[in-house]
Structure 1
Amino acid sequence: MTIRLGYQMPNFSYSNSVADLFPTVIAQAREAESAGFDTAFVMDHFYQLPGLGAPEEPMLEAYTALGALATATEKIQLSALVTGNTYRNPPMLAKTVSTLDVASGGRAILGIGAGWYELEHQQFGYEFGTFTDRFERLDEALQIIAPMLHGERPTFDGKWYHVENAINEPRFRDNLPIMLGGGGEKKTFALAARFADHLNIICNTSELTRKLDALDARCSEANRDRSALETSYLAFVIIDEDGDRARRLQREYLLRQGVDLSTASEEERAAATDRQFCGAPDEVAEQLQTRVLDKGIDGIVLNLVVNGHEPGIVGLAGRTVKPLVA
């Protein structure tokens, strides 16, 4: 598995017609595949997230959507960025992602994290618990899921989960990759050092150097070869052949989030745009190179939350970013 260039779809607010929604998702996945993206991601949420939209805006169930994309694409890897561990029983999740792997001919990746969106848990009836609870649960879940993905039949009796000789058949392969996602320097990074093939780091670009230093430390503590743990960064990209249009789309997007760039202080502007890369293709490429890749990150997972549904934009982003991570 390699994730050098991933495309995440965090937004399904494309039109007023539900009938047009999934064809637009398929079109983006196919355009990403044609443009050289190696992985397509959807979020594992039930509601749209704060900062992206209102809770009632459209949000597809992740694994149903990924299963449908498996039949609509041919070579691009498929994953959630990332699965909320609290939403599924661990052996059931192992079964689910293994089925996606079978359906896609070996293109599934298990992206997983501890879960964080309290409103979803509350309104859907899932136990939220404390921060410590959720990471204890993730640790236990990985001790069940990882062996099941490798063809073993684990028995486990923990504080949160219990399985007995859990069978996971059929499997397409014995090395289905595990990706952790998040920015937690102690818990998330420690679990990545123990269990993951890939870590997608979610943070502000201004924090990246510190995050990578912390990851080095967690790998050392786990006696893990740091070079064997691939990394990527989640980037919010607003790109257009016309850089001025891209900047206008960025201003309009941030205004909907309550940030007016025309009146914001320099500090407020920096905070609002720390994870964003905006402009014409050459400007976006330069920003990603200097703010992310030069820090030591291996790959880019980007979303195009403002205009990715517009035909041609995913391809433009692919042509812009792929040379940087090839």
Structure 2
Amino acid sequence: MTIRLGFQIPNFSYGTGVAELFPTVIAQAREAEAAGFDSVFLMDHFYQLPMLGTPDQPMLEAYTALGALATATEKVQLGTLVTGNTYRNPTLLTKAITTLDVVSGGRAILGIGTGWFELEHEQLGFEFGTFTDRFNKLEEALQIILPMIAGERVTVDGTYYRTKDAFANPRLRDHIPLMIGGSGEKKTFGLAARHFDHLNIIAGFPELPGKLAALAQRCEEVDRDPATLETSVLVSVVAGE
């Protein structure tokens, strides 16, 4: 078994001025790279999350910041943990992730989920809907994103999206690692088994054995070896002096 470590930067409230904010982010990413972490992630949110602070605390736009981090690092993979599909048009998201892959020299990871932070949607004008709406929207978005990443021209006349001969160019790779985050043992795990390379399981350590068993069942249902689906869990660490 190979254990790899990723480093997420979820908080930009450093007690510095705005001019010093991104240099601090760069320093964290470089320290993570030097320490042996193999990936660096940002959240794809527009407001700070309630468990981390107040909505008006600093929050960088993820893909702009990741593009800048690509030029400031050399080895770590770069992505979001994870993008909310509800506020990212799939063709524009594909263009963003393929561009990040080019800029980073093939280090991009596409993390994506249904979206869940309702306040962002209400205040910024994005449709939230029910969980079923958001899940179905994500499934349809993947029918655009995945073939576009692979270099295909995509025409879709769907419930949520319409494209005509959509393509992304330039592309560095025909496949960019795809990650989903969540805890739903039926829908989310089933979607991961069908389409994804990596599942970030949102659960406490006592729940993990049951979650992994459920994931193995979803993989069996689509005739997939669970060993081909990488799994991870998000852990919060508070460092002291």
| 1:222 corresponding residue in structure 2 | 222
CA distance in 2, matches of 1:172, 1:145: 15
Q: TM-score, normalised by structure 1?
A: 0.72
SS at match of 2:179: strand
CA distance in 2, matches of 1:65, 1:91: 19
Alignment check: 8 A CA contact 1:3 1:39 kept? no
CA distance in 2, matches of 1:226, 1:157: 33
> Highest relative contact order (Cα 8 Å, sep 6+), 1 or 2?
1
Alignment check: 8 A CA contact 1:3 1:232 kept? no
SS at match of 1:188: helix
- How many positions carry a matched residue from both structures? 240
CA distance in 2, matches of 1:64, 1:214: 36
SS at match of 2:237: strand
For residues 122-141 of structure 1, what are the structure 2 equivalents within 5 Å?
A: 122-141=122-141
CA distance in 1, matches of 2:125, 2:233: 32
| 1:147 corresponding residue in structure 2 | 147
Which structure 1 residue ranges, 5 or more long, are not aligned?
Answer: 246-326
Q: CA deviation at 1:238?
A: 2.1
Alignment check: 8 A CA contact 1:48 1:55 kept? yes
Question: In structure 2, what residue type is equivalent to 1:181?
Answer: G
CA distance in 1, matches of 2:83, 2:139: 14
| 2:40 corresponding residue in structure 1 | 40
Question: In structure 2, what residue type is equivalent to 1:166?
Answer: A
Q: TM-score, normalised by structure 2?
A: 0.96
| 1:76 corresponding residue in structure 2 | 76
Please tell me whether Structure 1 or Structure 2 has the larger radius of gyration of its CA atoms: 1
Which string of whole-angstrom CA distances, capped at 9 and with x for unpartnered residues, describes residues 69-104 of structure 1? 011111111000001001111111111100000011
SS at match of 1:30: helix
Q: CA deviation at 1:3?
A: 8.0
CA distance in 2, matches of 1:181, 1:146: 17
Which structure 2 residue ranges, 5 or more long, are not aligned?
Answer: none
Question: In structure 1, what residue type is equivalent to 2:132?
Answer: T
Question: In structure 2, what residue type is equivalent to 1:195?
Answer: H
The root-mean-square deviation of aligned C-alpha atoms, in Å, is 1.3
SS at match of 2:165: coil
CA distance in 2, matches of 1:5, 1:151: 30
Alignment check: 8 A CA contact 1:32 1:40 kept? yes
Question: In structure 2, what residue type is equivalent to 1:35?
Answer: A
CA distance in 2, matches of 1:42, 1:119: 19
* Closer/same/farther in 2, CA of residues 92 and 183 from structure 1, 3 Å limit: same
SS at match of 2:115: coil
SS at match of 1:217: helix
Q: CA deviation at 1:207?
A: 1.3
Superposition misfits of 4+ residues, deviation over 2 angstroms? none
Judge which range, 203-212 or 96-105, deviates more. Answer: 203-212
CA distance in 1, matches of 2:16, 2:9: 18
| 2:93 corresponding residue in structure 1 | 93
